[in-house]
Amino acid sequence: MAFNIYDFTPLTKSIHDALAASLNPTATLAIEWLIVGVAYLLFVALFGLFLVYAERKVCAAFQQRLGPMRVGPWGLLQTIADFIKLLMKELITPKRADVFLYNLAPFIVIIASFMAISVVPFAPGLAAFDFDIGVFFVTAVSSISVIGVLLAGWSSNNKYSLIGAMRSGAQIVSYELSVGLALITMIIFAGTMQISGIIEGQRDLWFIFRGHVPAVIAFIVFIIAGTAETNRGPFDLAEAESELTAGFHTEYSGIKFAFFFLAEYINMFIVAAMATVVFLGGWMPLHFGQFEAFNGVMDFIPGLVWFFLKVFAVIFLMMWFKWTFPRLRVDHILNLEWKYLLPINLMNIILMTLVVLFGLHF
Amino acid sequence: MTNDSLIQSISSLLPEAQIKMGFEYVETFIPRENLHTFMLQLKNNPEMYFDYLFCLTGADFEDHLQVIYHLESTTHQHILVVKVKTADRVNPEIDSVTDIWPTAEPHENEVFDLLGIRFRNHPEPRRLFLDETWGYPLRKDFKDDIHVVSR
Amino acid sequence: MAEYKEILLTSDEIKTDDYLVNMGPQHPSTHGVLRLLVQLEGEKVLNVQPHIGYIHSGIEKMTESLSYIQIPHLTDRMDYLAAHMNNEAVSLCVEKGLQVEVPERAKYIRTIFDELQRIASHQLWWCAFGMDMGALTTFFYGLRDREDILDIFEETCGARLTLNYSVPGGVMFDIHPNFQRDVKAFIKKFRKKLPEYERLLTGNVIFQERTKGVGILTKEEAIAYGVTGPSARASGFSCDIRKKQPYSAYPYIKFNEIMGTDGDTFTRYHLRILEMFESMNIIEQLIDNIPEGDYAVKMKGVTKLPEGEYYQRVETGRGEFGVYIISDGKKNPYRMKFRSPGFSNLFAINNIAKGWKIADLVAIMGTFDLVIPDIDR
């Protein structure tokens, strides 16, 4: 098997050939799905663990303390210990909760996150699906999680959960618009919705530099709206600890709470991944057009490493927001979206269209 | 206003008031029936203008119950202590001054809770600290064998 | 086919139910055991009814069986963030009754401790308030610097929170030899840190949106509801006891009474930060001039206050704390009443919070700086 760290296409092709040679097509397909599914499950689990640990360390750094240090060297095994504890907890269902919906809600939320991850390109040739409507698919599928949130709040039979779920529902539905429009701005620039096409178009220079003013505006809007979509940072009133104990997931314990918790971090990863793909070049190293020597040096680092570095940078930015700013009130959040972000987005689309039409980009 | 002119004004306002000079402030005893009108005059009179009620206490003297009001004027900077007593220990009732000073509302509830003095025309009488199973702990004859250890 | 009627709903016909939500007694932002019964319509607050008594310990009844020297040690527990000021209030009241003059050294020491306590109390308020607003980092920053003050307290008094230091006659021990050096080092450090704290919250747009114009308390309301302390000074009600009826070493120093005009949450917040600066100014005026001499007057073993009534007022971080003693000449007080600032402040919230949202209720309660044992005694 040809294992090339810079391009995974030969690896996947050789696995596929090996399977197709010995089994009939349906079995090949089934086994490939199985392999991809297990790989993604492992990735989600491990990456979720890592993100939780990273959050605690980053938070501790902002608060001038050390964070987890005792469980394992430098506290690395802390999240594993936390998850084992969560798995062993008693699953308490509130007395008159709607049992079916109560159990269904965490699954909906985690399924939405899984579906969105499937199109994320980690390296050349290492994306599960590569539709021609890739970006659109991600926006569509991540909207499913709002159903899970509303169901969780309603079925818990708890006023606090209901208030939290209502707030969260209103917020997510509003900010989807901004996320979608910011992505559309870049799709206009790229000319295609297919993710591999978008990344290819950034071979000379990343879109955030190529589409100067409108791309930077779109990036800022996307980061703000993406943070709001994931109920994080200054927009976390759905789970505002100091006001409503834990908002929509107050009544969940054990593994179901772990699903909500994990889904929040995976959503953060998806927002960061989309930002990376559309603005920062995905797995494409930083090239500056004609400087061959510079490009050569940049190419030395594999695409997989570039991707994760960019994703971590965006995630660090989102964590920074959370630990610095106070929380916004619900009407401020909705104000921000409908009165500020949406008009800015619409203007930006017009601006980007003009830029593309008249070729005013690099 | 100095203490002497205060004593003058009060005795001209209500001749039945028994006034004396306490350790620091002027203290006056008012008959129960005149309480509300007298307090209203204290607040509205521009010379005296007692608009700040900073302490409302109840006390149990062996044969009577007293309610003590500490009043201050934010404009004239003088302080007056008004006392009212009632000899009825079974069902003591005094007029409420909540309509004159809204701060009296929780203080009167506290006096009711701990001493048992009811206030007429109080907007929301309720026990604040204790529940219905308790008597009135600040009274001198309060005996509680379960919760209180006495020598 | 069933007929349908077109139903036109006018806004006064649509009746959405109000619902009651319990905030507390266990709640992360009420800072103590306080239960608020909030009547809500959607997000809007219609009525707030506080239910207290969860930490009522009957301190006033207890004082009737304790001697005058024992009582200050009990008052630490009432408003634990102003423990020294509570001790001092009782001590001053007893000294007033016995007509005892405290040595100058004790007066200076008491005032310096008062102001250090005020800074520590406001630091804790700031960090908890930031946490309520959602800026979780402020909790750690505020507590980190408060540790310096608590170390100073521990050196001299032996305790960090319930200081137990002022007694009738003076103070219990002399100050530690390192006291002046430590206090000066702390002030130097804190003067640089406090502007950092201001930058984190005061200029932040999100914070200003949430606090400016929210929960306005007018001056007439503040006087009528008996609100005192920084919460009332923000509305323009000049009620600083340190200026009106100075006690201990306050007559010897110059300081400003910080006032505001708007009476909204932001003014109450900003006023406390400015008060911290002012406290540092006061300490600087006093710390180098502590006179030599005794730290206490020798009191008789059994003190009996002459018959009569005595009232002493002290300015704590929350407002006016009053001690009222009715004495009948015996060795225990006949009746002792503590006028706590939190009690009056709490019951003014209902008036202010009507019409605002739940998040604003949390902000308003944060700026009133309630300590529940102070309310419940």
- By Cβ distance, the residue of C96, C225, C337 closest to B57 is C337
Tell me how far apart the alpha carbons of residues C195 and C201 are, in angstroms, rounded to a whole number. 10
C121 has pLDDT over 60:
yes
B119 domain-assigned: no
Strand partners, B35: none
Higher pLDDT, C144 or A22: C144
C7 has pLDDT over 60:
no
Length of chain B: 151
Average pLDDT over residues A196-220: 86
**pLDDT tens digits for A326-349?**
888 878 888 888 999 999 999 999
Domain that holds residue B11: 3-93
Contacts of A236 in chain C (CB under 8 A): 134
B127: confidence class by pLDDT, cuts 50, 70, 90: confident
Provide the shortest C-alpha distance from residue B87 to chain C (in Å).
Answer: 18
CB pairs under 8 A between A and C: 77
Provide the shortest C-alpha distance from residue C223 to chain B (in Å).
Answer: 6
B132 has pLDDT over 90:
no
Best probe of the B interface among C227, C305, C325, C344, by most B CBs < 10 A, is C344
Number of Cβ within a 10 Å radius of residue C49: 14
Tell me how far apart the alpha carbons of residues C311 and C326 are, in angstroms, rounded to a whole number. 9
C-beta of residue A267 within 8 angstroms of C-beta of residue A176: no
Tell me how far apart the alpha carbons of residues C107 and A302 are, in angstroms, rounded to a whole number. 72
Contacts of C207 in chain A (CB under 8 A): 326
- By Cβ distance, the residue of C56, C228, C309 closest to B129 is C56
Chains B and C: 3 or more CB pairs within 8 Å of each other: yes
C48 has pLDDT over 70:
yes
Q: What's the pLDDT at C188?
A: 92
C74: confidence class by pLDDT, cuts 50, 70, 90: confident
Global pTM value: 0.86
Contacts of C131 in chain A (CB under 8 A): 242
- Give the helix/strand (H/E) hosting C279: helix C265-287
Instruction: Provide CB contacts within 8 A for A31, sequence distance 6+.
Output: A19, A23
C-beta of residue A182 within 8 angstroms of C-beta of residue A207: no
A65 has pLDDT over 60:
yes
Provide the shortest C-alpha distance from residue B105 to chain C (in Å).
Answer: 8
Least confident of A307-311, B16-20, C26-30: C26-30
Q: Hey, CA dihedral for A86, A89, A95, A98, is it positive or negative? A: positive
Q: Which chains touch C (3 or more CB pairs under 8 A)?
A: A, B
Question: C347 vs B103: CB contact, 8 Å cut-off?
Answer: yes
Give the count of alpha carbons within 13 A of C266, CB side only: 17
Q: C interface toward A at CB cutoff 8 Å?
A: 19, 21, 27-29, 43, 130-137, 139-141, 144, 200-201, 204, 206-207, 209-210, 357-360, 362
Least confident of A281-295, A303-317, B43-57: A281-295
Question: C344 vs B60: CB contact, 8 Å cut-off?
Answer: no
The tokens for C297 are 């007057």
B133 domain-assigned: no
Average pLDDT over residues C162-188: 88
Least confident of A272-276, B120-124, C188-192, C299-303: C299-303
C8 has pLDDT over 70:
no
Contacts of B25 in chain C (CB under 8 A): 311
Which residue of chain A has the CA closest to C21?
A: A159
Tell me how far apart the alpha carbons of residues A273 and A208 are, in angstroms, rounded to a whole number. 15
Inter-axis angle of helices A25-62 and A99-117, to 10 degrees?
Answer: 100
CATH number at residue B64: 3.30.460.80
Higher pLDDT, B4 or C80: C80
Per the rule left: phi > 0, alpha: psi between -120 and 50, beta: everything else, C126 is alpha
Chains B and A: 3 or more CB pairs within 8 Å of each other: no
Which residue of chain C has the CA closest to A158?
A: C21
B48 domain-assigned: yes
- By Cβ distance, the residue of A160, A242, A325 closest to C29 is A242
Instruction: Provide CB contacts within 8 A for A41, sequence distance 6+.
Output: none
Question: B77 vs C339: CB contact, 8 Å cut-off?
Answer: no
Instruction: Provide CB contacts within 8 A for C276, sequence distance 6+.
Output: C118, C119, C122, C123, C194
Residue identified by tokens 């008693």 is A90
Q: How far is CA A37 from CA A33, A126, A186, B46, B77, in A?
A: 6, 13, 30, 84, 80
CB pairs under 8 A between B and C: 78
C337 has pLDDT over 50:
yes
DSSP A235: G
Which residue of chain B has the CA closest to C337?
A: B57
Please provide the average confidence, as pLDDT, over all residues in chain A: 84
Contacts of B27 in chain C (CB under 8 A): 309
C 125-154 residues with CB below 8 A of B?
Answer: none
Average pLDDT over residues C351-367: 86
**pLDDT tens digits for C243-263?**
888 888 888 888 888 888 888
Which segments of chain C are extended strands (E)? 19-23, 35-41, 44-51, 166-167, 170-171, 308-315, 320-327, 335-339
Segment of A226-240, A243-257, C332-346 carrying the highest mean pLDDT: C332-346
Quick check: C329 contacting B, CB < 8 Å? no
Q: B interface toward C at CB cutoff 8 Å?
A: 22-25, 27, 51-55, 57, 59-60, 68, 70, 74, 77, 81, 101-103, 105-107, 110, 114, 128-130, 137-138
Q: How many helices (H) and strands (E) does chain C have?
A: 15, 8
Average pLDDT over residues C345-353: 88
Question: C359 vs A327: CB contact, 8 Å cut-off?
Answer: yes
A49: confidence class by pLDDT, cuts 50, 70, 90: confident
Instruction: Provide CB contacts within 8 A for C170, sequence distance 6+.
Output: C102, C103, C106, C294, C295, C296, C297
Question: C210 vs A245: CB contact, 8 Å cut-off?
Answer: no
Question: B74 vs C237: CB contact, 8 Å cut-off?
Answer: yes
The total number of structural domains in chain B stands at 1
Contacts of C344 in chain B (CB under 8 A): 103, 106-107
**pLDDT tens digits for B63-90?**
888 899 998 888 888 888 989 888 888 8
Residue identified by tokens 């000319």 is A191
Tell me how far apart the alpha carbons of residues C263 and C268 are, in angstroms, rounded to a whole number. 7
Number of Cβ within a 10 Å radius of residue A362: 10
B33 domain-assigned: yes
Please provide the average confidence, as pLDDT, over all residues in chain C: 85
**pLDDT tens digits for C89-104?**
999 998 888 888 889 8
Contacts by A97-100 with C-beta closer than 8 Å and gap 24+?
Answer: A97/A155, A97/A156, A97/A157, A97/A251, A98/A154, A98/A155, A98/A157, A99/A155
Specify the 3-state DSSP secondary structure of C198.
Answer: helix
Contacts of C21 in chain A (CB under 8 A): 159-160
Average pLDDT over residues C219-243: 89
- By Cβ distance, the residue of C97, C310, C339 closest to B54 is C339
Task: Give me the interface pTM, i.e. the ipTM.
Answer: 0.90
Q: What's the pLDDT at C1?
A: 39
**pLDDT tens digits for A143-152?**
888 888 888 8
Query: Where does C19-376 sit in CATH, by number?
Result: 1.10.645.10
Higher pLDDT, A91 or C143: C143
Average pLDDT over residues C176-181: 88
C 183-222 residues with CB below 8 A of B?
Answer: none
Q: Which chains touch A (3 or more CB pairs under 8 A)?
A: C
C13 has pLDDT over 60:
no
A221: confidence class by pLDDT, cuts 50, 70, 90: very high
B115 has pLDDT over 70:
yes
Question: C320 vs B74: CB contact, 8 Å cut-off?
Answer: no
Average pLDDT over residues C42-58: 85
